[in-house]
């Protein structure tokens, strides 16, 4: 057990009481500000609790995903908390997540080789790329030890999440609440509180897709992937507005994110074996893995563009108008005499 994990019990005793996990969605009987406070507190609490448990290998990825969800929430309410607060909160979570990235990156490179072998099973020899996989596994182990042996990284992420949880739990939820959110009153229970952030996320994703199509570099597809993931998480929050339509959008965005993520991982693998050829010293094997990776990337990019063209088919103002109509129907009181 590393020094980073040894402090966990003491830190756990300093936590605020755990909150029930009601789901990463708006509550049907909650004020908007109450839902947002619950969602953010639950995400920060769950991520920190996992890391405090000491099960780093199984929880670091979940903590990173929770921080990504929190950043999606911040983007959704950016117009309400203000640009300065948004930038600060986003940077805090981004930097905490980046500090643990080497663990994720090492594991993903091994998984990427496994996916290639599985994809082309029956077309390549069973032992193909075994030496490369072993070298990548060794690299992954070294990256993991480097993070866990640093006594500041994991405790620092825990402190970041604990502090975020305290801030989020103090968000005001009613008009007479003495607390304020970054100098502002509670977020109004209205779609207008979310529309600017949702529209910005959708519009930027649409723009990044067009840039990736026009200039299909790994960097452009990676930028598009990040925007798609934020929109996915925002759709997950808004799923109760119309579970079939909005839930379907979230699922499509999840698929899009997986395809773009696999494409990014393959691009990183190609760059890695190019920069560190000793990982795969056999030139013929390097050429072979590069050919397979490029072939698979072409498939993934074509599938992503086809799906993305449907997801981003509307203009941003049309997309927001549609979601505004969903909100109006969802938030409307049930007419007198109406029966299910």
Q: Write out pLDDT tens, residues 191-215.
A: 999 999 999 999 999 999 999 999 9
Looking at the structure, tell me whether residues 108 and 230 fall in a common domain: no
Least confident of 2-16, 40-54, 276-290: 2-16
Mean residue pLDDT of the chain comes to: 89
pLDDT (mean) for 11-18: 35
Q: Tens digits of per-residue pLDDT, 159-185? A: 999 999 999 998 888 766 666 667 778
- Residues paired with residue 121 on neighbouring β-strands, in sequence order: 124
Looking at the structure, tell me whether residues 259 and 155 fall in a common domain: no
Domain that includes residue 48, residue range: 19-188
- Residues paired with residue 124 on neighbouring β-strands, in sequence order: 121
Residue 6 or residue 207, greater confidence: 207
Domain assignment of residue 175, yes or no? yes
Single out the residue of 326, 315, 314, 308 nearest to residue 243, CA to CA.
326
Domain assignment of residue 123, yes or no? yes
Q: Would you tell me the crossing angle of helices 56-76 and 195-214 to the nearest 10 degrees?
A: 110
pLDDT of residue 176: 66
pLDDT of residue 19: 38
Looking at the structure, tell me whether residues 162 and 224 fall in a common domain: no
Instruction: Answer yes or no: are the C-beta atoms of 239 and 247 closer than 8 Å.
Output: yes
Domain assignment of residue 217, yes or no? yes
Classified as helix, coil or strand, 328 is helix
Looking at the structure, tell me whether residues 196 and 320 fall in a common domain: yes
Residue 260 has pLDDT above 80, yes or no: yes
pLDDT of residue 175: 67
pLDDT (mean) for 214-232: 97
pLDDT of residue 21: 44
Q: What H or E segment, with its residue span, contains residue 28?
A: none
Looking at the structure, tell me whether residues 210 and 85 fall in a common domain: no
pLDDT-derived band at 337, boundaries 50, 70, 90: low
- Count of structural domains, the chain: 2
Phi, psi dihedral angles at 184 (to 5 degrees): -120, 165
Q: Which of 135, 165, 188 is the last residue of a domain?
A: 188
Looking at the structure, tell me whether residues 65 and 173 fall in a common domain: yes
Single out the residue of 55, 71, 64, 126 nearest to residue 96, CA to CA.
64
Q: Would you tell me the crossing angle of helices 218-237 and 56-76 to the nearest 10 degrees?
A: 80
Residue 11 has pLDDT above 60, yes or no: no
Q: Tens digits of per-residue pLDDT, 39-78? A: 999 999 988 888 887 667 778 888 999 999 999 999 999 9
Looking at the structure, tell me whether residues 170 and 205 fall in a common domain: no
Looking at the structure, tell me whether residues 307 and 260 fall in a common domain: yes
Question: Which alpha helices (DSSP H) does the chain contain, by range?
Answer: 3-6, 8-13, 32-52, 56-76, 78-81, 83-99, 101-119, 130-149, 153-169, 195-214, 218-237, 243-275, 283-311, 316-331
Residue 126 or residue 87, greater confidence: 87
Q: Which of 169, 188, 207 is the last residue of a domain?
A: 188
Looking at the structure, tell me whether residues 176 and 284 fall in a common domain: no
Looking at the structure, tell me whether residues 171 and 249 fall in a common domain: no
Question: For a pLDDT cut of 70, what percent of the chain falls above it?
Answer: 89
Domain assignment of residue 139, yes or no? yes
Domain assignment of residue 10, yes or no? no
Looking at the structure, tell me whether residues 128 and 202 fall in a common domain: no
Looking at the structure, tell me whether residues 172 and 213 fall in a common domain: no
pLDDT of residue 5: 33
Residue 109 has pLDDT above 90, yes or no: yes
Domain assignment of residue 290, yes or no? yes
DSSP character at residue 278: G
pLDDT-derived band at 128, boundaries 50, 70, 90: confident
Domain assignment of residue 337, yes or no? no
Residue 335 or residue 314, greater confidence: 314
Residue 157: C-alpha distances to residues 147, 152, 180, 191 (Å)? 12, 9, 26, 33
pLDDT of residue 61: 86
Single out the residue of 150, 136, 134 nearest to residue 105, CA to CA.
136
Residue 6 or residue 272, greater confidence: 272
Domain assignment of residue 9, yes or no? no
Q: Which of 166, 188, 210 is the last residue of a domain?
A: 188
Residue 15 has pLDDT above 60, yes or no: no
Residue 2: C-alpha distances to residues 100, 150, 324 (Å)? 15, 9, 50
CATH of the domain at 63: 1.40.20.10
Question: For a pLDDT cut of 90, what percent of the chain falls above it?
Answer: 75
């Amino acid at each position: 057990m590393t020094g980073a994990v040894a402090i966990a019990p003491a830190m756990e005793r300093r936590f605020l009481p755990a909150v029930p996990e009601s789901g990463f969605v708006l509550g049907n009987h909650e004020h908007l500000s109450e839902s947002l406070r619950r969602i953010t507190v639950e995400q920060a609490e769950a991520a920190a609790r996992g890391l405090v448990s000491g099960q780093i290998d199984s929880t670091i990825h979940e903590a990173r995903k929770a921080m990504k969800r929190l950043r999606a929430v911040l983007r959704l309410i950016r117009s309400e908390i203000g640009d300065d607060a948004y930038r600060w909160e986003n940077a805090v979570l981004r930097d905490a997540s980046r500090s643990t990235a080497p663990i994720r990156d090492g594991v993903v490179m091994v998984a990427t080789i496994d996916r290639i072998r599985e994809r082309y099973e029956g077309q390549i020899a069973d032992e193909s790329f075994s030496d490369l996989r072993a070298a990548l596994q060794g690299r992954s182990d070294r990256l993991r030890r480097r993070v866990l042996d640093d006594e500041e990284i994991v405790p620092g992420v825990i402190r970041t999440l604990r502090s975020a949880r305290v801030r989020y739990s103090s968000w005001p939820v009613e008009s007479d609440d003495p607390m304020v959110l970054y100098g502002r009153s509670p977020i109004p229970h209205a779609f207008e509180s979310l529309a600017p952030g949702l529209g910005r996320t959708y519009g930027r994703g649409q723009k990044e897709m067009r840039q990736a199509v026009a200039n299909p570099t790994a960097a452009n597809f990676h930028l598009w992937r990040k925007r798609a993931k934020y929109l996915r998480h925002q759709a997950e929050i808004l799923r109760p507005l119309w579970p079939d339509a909005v839930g379907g959008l979230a699922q499509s965005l999840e698929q899009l994110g997986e395809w773009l993520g696999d494409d990014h991982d393959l691009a990183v693998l190609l760059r890695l074996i190019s920069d560190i050829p000793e990982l795969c010293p056999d030139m013929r094997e390097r050429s072979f893995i590069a050919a397979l990776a490029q072939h698979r990337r072409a498939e993934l990019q074509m599938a992503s563009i086809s799906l993305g063209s449907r997801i981003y088919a509307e203009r941003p103002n049309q997309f927001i108008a549609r979601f505004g109509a969903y909100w109006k129907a969802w938030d409307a009181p049930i007419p007198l005499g109406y029966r299910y």
